[in-house]
Amino acid sequence: MSKLKLDTDVRYISGVGSARAAALARMGVTDVRSLLRHFPRAYQHRGKISALADAEHGEVGSFLVTIAAPPKTARLKGRMTVTKVGAFDETRNCTLIFFNQPYMQDVFKTGATYRIWGKVQMRIGFVEIVSPDYEPWYEGIKLPEFTPLYPLTQGITNKYLTKIIRTALDNTELTDEDDPLPLPVRERAGAEPLEAALRGIHCPDTYSMMDRARRRFVFEELYTFALGVSLQRRHKVEATGPVFRRCDMDRFTSQLDFTLTGAQKRVVSEIENDVCDPGAIPMNRMVSGDVGCGKTVCAAAAIYMAVANGYQAALMAPTAILASQHYADLSELFGRLGIEIELLIGSTPAAKKRKIKERLASGDLRVVVGTHALISDGVEFCEPGLFVTDEQHRFGVMQRAALAKKARGGLTPHVLVMSATPIPRTLALILYGDLAVSRVDEMPPGRQKVSTFAVDESYRDRMNGFIRKQAQEGRQVYIVCPAIEAEEKDEDGSSGGIVGLGYRAGDDDQPRLKSAVEYERNLREVVFPDLRVALMHGKMKPSEKESVMAAFTRGEIDVLVSTTVIEVGVNVPNASLMIVENAERFGLSQLHQLRGRVGRGKYKSWCILVSDSKGKTARERLDVMCETNDGYKIAQRDLEIRGPGDYFAGENGARQSGENGLALASMAADMDDLTLAFNCASDTLAADPDLVLPENRGLARLVDKFLDVTTGTAN
Ligand code: ADP
Ligand code: MG
């Protein structure tokens, strides 16, 4: 095969035909560049060989076994077959078992040695390993230390992907110009060159190689992010916004069921000063405040100002559940004020969607609440005056360019971002720069502190007893699990034992993940057959999620087992107990969000964080949760302990701005790197403001891609 270049089409890699190329394209892999940037999501540490005698039931691991006798295949019911292969290592015997793979007969030769990877099943008196992965082992020839696990798609196996990535790595000429990180930046950041980093990420020999490679790509992302944000910021300065007249806010406040707190009044007047600014600079403000402090009503006040001035307003929420809830709350309030509002989410029927879009474009409809469908779905406004986004750790900046495109008559709408997670000041300054921040730093009267406890497995029975007691008293319970289904299986059916990309040298251990599906089934069928237990997770259809949530809101469900889909904004005042399983897996700010789902009504509320992690950092973090209910303190501590990675996470920890990037969320990139990335970006832009110099070509491409993604469908 002739030498490949980064721009070479994947079809020129040996082993890639047109069917495979089409499958790869579904994952965004079209050329050598995108193939090499298809990073593993985790690794199996197969170089760490265990002894069979030490293996425990259910353990997944790597074993070095020698075949004892020729394999035997037997027929089971119907067409099923089972092939059994007797093998041994230095410590004991075992049997490898393969179902419906009679050709395995011819694979294993008596006396040959294999490195196998699979799950150990202890039977009385013997050890079985079902459908292990196997690699022939020869004295003196080293097998790869880590096996990468790639995100896959139909028709593309992990083995295949590993092979073609290897081929691409071995046959691609990489020059210094191919590295999108300019040399001075790379040197300043102490980041590895592209070629070494690609090897380190795809076929590391050691953890430190893996870590160095990962750090380089994380830095590259931070730096690209910094450039993208800086470029967007520059674009924005030239904008002109609509100038509102001050209006009679008593009319608005008189329709509320409560009186605004001092903090809320202050925030509303800060908003008013922005939107009524005769300088016509569009507002760009974040309303930040702890969970439950009442940010929504501040946004509602801003919407009222826009409408009273003859403009349209939109409120965008990160999930359909949250958008529906905002809609329910706001339509009641605005109904009293004689202002019509509509809901536009993915599941809105097509005819209704069309109607809403028409009415927004004609100006007939003044207020809309929705999800990202609002920016991605070809929605046009007639006289847009205000966009409110209610987002979690997402970056308002990212949507701003997209929103600006919606401007009419040259006026850029005002933007208000409600941040459910109080973002530490240092980070806000770096990320948003010119974004003004209003703090709602006072809770509505009568709120109770949520008592928080960190417990381990030994409390399971007591905890279940407590759940029952709460349900019997008429309260409701949330249980959050980190995974949807039982541990992810790779293609060979083996599972677990993997090193996630979030792994950092020094992390102590990784307890087994609780899955919502299994957990819910067990609770419903075994533990609480007498209670109403239900399940909700991200893979369910939006309409299913909405109906579960609606049932929970009506009090028709006692115990709701879910993933973090309930994280943001859900408001059910009758819920009094939040349990988080594998609490070590969540960021502190995320835990704080989850905890904020309870204690929203008049009932005494609790939060129980369950974790079997013995890690020092994990314990320290959970202790922070138990000690304080102050979201700012928690966010600050999170930043100190974990770095700003959390703030880069979208729903379920996935990275917001791209499909194949490293999940920065789990990277725990540190604050120094982020600051450094911004400093480097500002130097780069000072020397080459539009990134047109030849040495910045690779960089310009990355930044373009970043801006594309972030202004497109972010959700
Ligand atoms: P968050 O800031 O977390 O988005 P919300 O805006 O959802 O909080 O408000 C939480 C709850 O507090 C809502 O039920 C809301 O009606 C109520 N609330 C907001 N402001 C006040 C207030 N000044 N007095 C009493 N209740 C309030
Ligand atoms: Mg909210």
Query: Of 610, 628, 646, which residue sits at a domain end?
Result: 628
Whether residue 511 is found in the same domain as residue 396: no
Residue-level pLDDT at 532: 97
3-class secondary-structure state, position 288: strand
Whether residue 499 is found in the same domain as residue 518: yes
Whether residue 474 is found in the same domain as residue 607: yes
Residue 296 Cα: closest atom of ligand 1 = 6
Q: Would you say the CB of residue 645 lies under 6 angstroms from ligand 1? A: no
What DSSP string runs through 320-342? Answer: HHHHHHHHHHHHHHHHHTT--EE
Residue-level pLDDT at 653: 34
The tally of domains found in the chain comes to 4
Q: Would you say the CB of residue 297 lies under 6 angstroms from ligand 1? A: yes
Query: Of 583, 612, 628, which residue sits at a domain end?
Result: 628
Q: Would you say the CB of residue 595 lies under 6 angstroms from ligand 1? A: no
Phi/psi-derived region of residue 634, left when phi > 0, alpha when psi is between -120 and 50, beta in every other case: alpha
Tell me the C-alpha distance between 685 and 294, whole Å: 40
Whether residue 514 is found in the same domain as residue 624: yes
Whether residue 6 is found in the same domain as residue 21: yes
Tell me the C-alpha distance between 645 and 502, whole Å: 10
Beta bridge partners of 637: none
Tell me the C-alpha distance between 46 and 328, whole Å: 53
Q: Is residue 237 part of a domain?
A: no
Which residue's structure tokens are 């594309």?
708
Whether residue 545 is found in the same domain as residue 498: yes
Q: Would you say the CB of residue 291 lies under 6 angstroms from ligand 1? A: yes
Please check whether residue 15 is in contact with residue 168, taking contact to mean a CB–CB distance below 8 angstroms: no
Q: Which two tokens stand for residue 51?
A: 């002894």
For residue 672, how many other CB atoms are within 10 A of its CB? 9
Whether residue 404 is found in the same domain as residue 268: yes
Query: Of 406, 440, 474, which residue sits at a domain end?
Result: 440
Q: Is residue 520 part of a domain?
A: yes
Contacts of 168 (CB under 8 A, 6+ apart): 4, 13, 32, 35, 36
Exposed, middle or buried: residue 541 (CB in 10 Å: 0-12, 13-18, 19+)? exposed
Q: Is residue 714 part of a domain?
A: no
Please check whether residue 144 is in contact with residue 47, taking contact to mean a CB–CB distance below 8 angstroms: yes
Spacing, Cα 541 to ligand 2 middle (Å): 23
Mutate to test the pocket of ligand 1, among 257, 268, 297, 603 (most ligand atoms within 8 A of CB): 297
Give buried/exposed letters for 499-512 (b at 16+ CB in 10 A, else e): bebbbeeebeebbe
Q: Is residue 465 part of a domain?
A: yes
Residue-level pLDDT at 179: 92
Give the domain extent around 97.
Answer: 47-144
Report how far apart, in Å, the C-alpha atoms of 109 and of each of 66, 81, 89 are. 9, 20, 15
Whether residue 470 is found in the same domain as residue 600: yes
Spacing, Cα 268 to ligand 1 middle (Å): 14
- Of the candidates 280, 369, 285, the one whose C-alpha atom is nearest the C-alpha of residue 322 is 369
- The phi and psi torsions of 50 (rounded to 5 degrees) equal -105, 160
Spacing, Cα 700 to ligand 2 middle (Å): 37
CATH number of residue 599's parent domain: 3.40.50.300
Contacts of 116 (CB under 8 A, 6+ apart): 62, 63, 64, 65, 87, 96, 129, 132, 133, 134, 135
Nearest CA to ligand 1 atom 5: 294
Residue-level pLDDT at 456: 92
pLDDT single digits (tens) 37-89: 999 888 899 999 999 999 888 888 999 999 999 999 999 888 899 999 999 99
Tell me the C-alpha distance between 554 and 67, whole Å: 61
Residue-level pLDDT at 317: 86
Whether residue 389 is found in the same domain as residue 373: yes
Name residue 436's amino acid. A
Nearest CA to ligand 1 atom 26: 444
CATH number of residue 80's parent domain: 2.40.50.140
Residue-level pLDDT at 489: 41
Whether residue 41 is found in the same domain as residue 52: no
Contacts of 472 (CB under 8 A, 6+ apart): none
Q: Is residue 410 part of a domain?
A: yes
Q: Would you say the CB of residue 13 lies under 6 angstroms from ligand 1? A: no
pTM: 0.62
Tell me the C-alpha distance between 583 and 610, whole Å: 6
- What's the DSSP call for residue 539? T
- The phi and psi torsions of 82 (rounded to 5 degrees) equal -130, 130
What DSSP string runs through 574-637? Answer: TEEEEEETTGGGS-HHHHHHHHTTSS-SSS--EEEEE-----HHHHHHHHHHHH---HHHHHHH
Spacing, Cα 650 to ligand 2 middle (Å): 16
Contacts of 328 (CB under 8 A, 6+ apart): none
Residue-level pLDDT at 434: 63
Q: Would you say the CB of residue 296 lies under 6 angstroms from ligand 1? A: yes
Residue 390 Cα: closest atom of ligand 1 = 4
Q: Is residue 413 part of a domain?
A: yes
Q: Vertex 244, ends 241 and 246: CA angle to 5°?
A: 150
Whether residue 104 is found in the same domain as residue 64: yes
pLDDT single digits (tens) 466-477: 999 999 999 999
Residue-level pLDDT at 237: 59
- The phi and psi torsions of 42 (rounded to 5 degrees) equal -165, 175
Whether residue 375 is found in the same domain as residue 509: no
Please check whether residue 25 is in contact with residue 192, taking contact to mean a CB–CB distance below 8 angstroms: no
Q: Is residue 205 part of a domain?
A: no
Q: Would you say the CB of residue 258 lies under 6 angstroms from ligand 1? A: yes
What secondary structure, in 3-state letters, does 635-700 show? HHHHHHHHCHHHHHECHHHCECCCCCCCCHHHHCCCHHHHHHHHHHHHHHHHHCCCCCCHHHHHHH
Residue 440 Cα: closest atom of ligand 1 = 2
Q: Is residue 33 part of a domain?
A: yes
Spacing, Cα 390 to ligand 2 middle (Å): 7
Q: Would you say the CB of residue 295 lies under 6 angstroms from ligand 1? A: yes
Tell me the C-alpha distance between 371 and 346, whole Å: 8
3-class secondary-structure state, position 444: coil
Mutate to test the pocket of ligand 1, among 255, 257, 258 (most ligand atoms within 8 A of CB): 258
Residue-level pLDDT at 10: 94
Residue-level pLDDT at 658: 34
- Of the candidates 574, 591, 573, the one whose C-alpha atom is nearest the C-alpha of residue 582 is 591
Report residues of the chain scoring pLDDT below 70. Answer: 1-2, 233-238, 391-409, 420-434, 486-511, 567-569, 642-671, 706-715
Tell me the C-alpha distance between 643 and 639, whole Å: 5
